[in-house]
Amino acid sequence: MNLTVVMVHFKSDKNKLNSCLKSIGIHTKVLIIDHSNDLKLDNINIPKNIDIEIIKNKNLGNGAGINCGIKNSKTNYVLYLDIDTILPLNFFKHLENVINKVD
């Protein structure tokens, strides 16, 4: 799937972030926009199916972080997730079906 996942981090709970990443059931790029400038890859349990990039960004609000993620994405589709989101197992199957209908 031609998709980038965008997340905005501001002093977020690392356990919630790790749980969210674990629930992403496809191979994809994840951009984490870091507004608190304290997130390090060492603090993250990165699943093998995820290519992660942390982008340090001035904190101008959540919407600005989302826009930064969209601007830095190189895919046709972007999915924004809050750090505390846990996706159901079949989420990406349903998303792919919807994308196939749109394309």
- Residue-by-residue pLDDT tens, the chain, 103 positions: 899 999 999 999 999 999 999 999 999 999 999 999 999 998 899 999 999 999 999 999 999 999 999 999 999 999 999 999 999 999 999 999 998 898 7
**Are 43 and 14 contacting, i.e. CB atoms less than 8 angstroms apart?**
yes
Looking at residue 1, what is its pLDDT? 80
Could you tell me the end-to-end alpha-carbon distance of the chain, in angstroms, rounded to an integer?
Answer: 12
Looking at residue 15, what is its pLDDT? 95
| Alpha carbons 99 and 54: distance in angstroms, whole number | 26
